[in-house]
Structure 1
Amino acid sequence: MTAELTSGRGHLLELGNTRWHRPALYVFSFIVLAHWAEHMAQAIQIWVLGWPRPQAGGLLGLAYPWLVTSEWLHYGYAILMLIGLWTLRGGFVGRARTWWNVALWIQVWHHVEHLLLLVQAITHSYLLGKPVPTSIAQLLFPRVELHLFYNTIVFIPMVIAMVLHLRPRAEERARMRCTCALAHA
């Protein structure tokens, strides 16, 4: 039974990096862009509309203010990003793989920061005696700006990786196991 389950997961991972790589990248990209939209809405609420930070929760925060203050939500997204970057990396080769790995390793750190925040929220024991859960980098930068920064430095290498993946060099195209590459011009 265990071997069957393992081979089933392995088969799904294989499909996600071969035949289903392009649709999987589209779904993952949609999730990433939706998250970006939330951060951009929050930034507009603060810097354009002049809302106080506690009331600026993005679009989701307007409907469910309690949800966006939940460390579980933020940790869940961080782990989803990490899983997505890890599971889809097998479909990348060459230069695209290098850039995808850059995004993955930055997300590993981002995940560690969110894990630290979640542990603090659960234990009510806050870093350096702060009154709220605080990440390491948050000791130097405000949370909204920090998360815009983190999402930017993960997003940029992801986009570079996807562009290079769609437009591979001939030797990279020959090593690809998926059909993501665009037709030759």
Structure 2
Amino acid sequence: HDLRAYGLGKHRQVDDYQYGGGAGMVMMAEPLSRCIDDLQKERAYDEVIYMTPDGQRLAQPLANRLSMKENLLLLCGHYKGIDERIRQHYVTMEISIGDFVLSGGELPAVVLVDAIGRLLPGVLNDETSALFDSFQDNLLAPPVYTRPEEFRGWKVPEVLLSGNFKKIEQWRYDQAVRRTKERRPGLLEEE
């Protein structure tokens, strides 16, 4: 939605200086409230999600849970953020994509939409593909290979060419554990 359509005055103002002074503009409560109220008249939302650096970290289990919801309303802050009263009275969940600050919540919202969307039926060509992605079981994905079998002298591991699906599955699991231990050992501690 175009928040400016809910802005105040002839300039359709949606932000103002913060009380108590300090640098940065704050998105005003009234335009946000009017916009959210209008959206909630159209349909019920399972969550009103505010994308903010101080929210809970987006991880695969959260994306999995959110993919089961029917309707999500994503609120993207800008400037210094949004008036705290909107957070207290409308927002049901706050999500961060990492410990850094962007100029707005639009890019984190796109990340969230992609993380959730790929879990929905009909989005991926092979719906089982998402079940074997990194992080679904606190492991990074194993290495993957495609044709040709040999490229510049670099060969595909023999087990992947064997046709023995039990051995292939075990190899993939072992490689996922190895890769996780090397690159993200903290994931193994979260189990």
Does TM-score exceed 0.5, indicating one fold?
A: no
Q: Identify the TM-score tier after normalising by the shorter chain.
A: under 0.3
Say which structure, 1 or 2, has more relative contact order (CA 8 Å, 6+ apart). 1
Which structure dedicates a bigger proportion of its chain to helix?
Answer: 1
Structure with larger Rg: 2
TM-score (norm. length: structure 2):
0.27
Which structure dedicates a bigger proportion of its chain to strand?
Answer: 2
TM-score (norm. length: structure 1):
0.28
